[in-house]
Amino acid sequence: MWNEPYLETCCRSALHRLFLTHGGTRPAGLPDEACLRRLCGMGMAEEVSPGRFAMTEAGAKRHASEVLKKAAA
């Protein structure tokens, strides 16, 4: 049964852009800031300093399963 919160297409894209930073951060003030804040609310991202967002472990797992389509190990 599906027990994860639904991710809108824009939020999946924002999660992927966080992934593309390779452990770095993404700044606020870009068009996807609302999605980054939504991802923070779901525990998939965190604001590591004012205006800088990073992916959490939960976000990395969700990205792997939903965007990269990898099965859970």
Model pLDDT for residues 18-47, shown as the tens digit of each residue: 999 999 999 999 999 999 999 999 999 999
pLDDT of residue 1: 44
Asked if residue 28 lies in contact with residue 54, where contact means CB atoms within 8 angstroms, the answer is no
Contact indicator for 40, 53 with CB cutoff of 8 Å: yes
> In whole angstroms, how far apart are CA 66 and each of 7, 28, 30?
9, 24, 23
Q: What is the distance between the alpha carbons of residues 47 and 56, in angstroms, rounded to a whole number?
A: 10
Please tell me the pTM assigned to this model: 0.87
Boundaries of every domain in the chain: 9-67
Given 1.10.10, 2.60.40, 3.40.50, 1.10.150, which CATH number is that of 9-67? 1.10.10
pLDDT in tens, 39-73: 999 999 999 999 999 999 999 999 999 888 876 65
List 53's β-bridge partners, or say none.
Answer: 26, 47
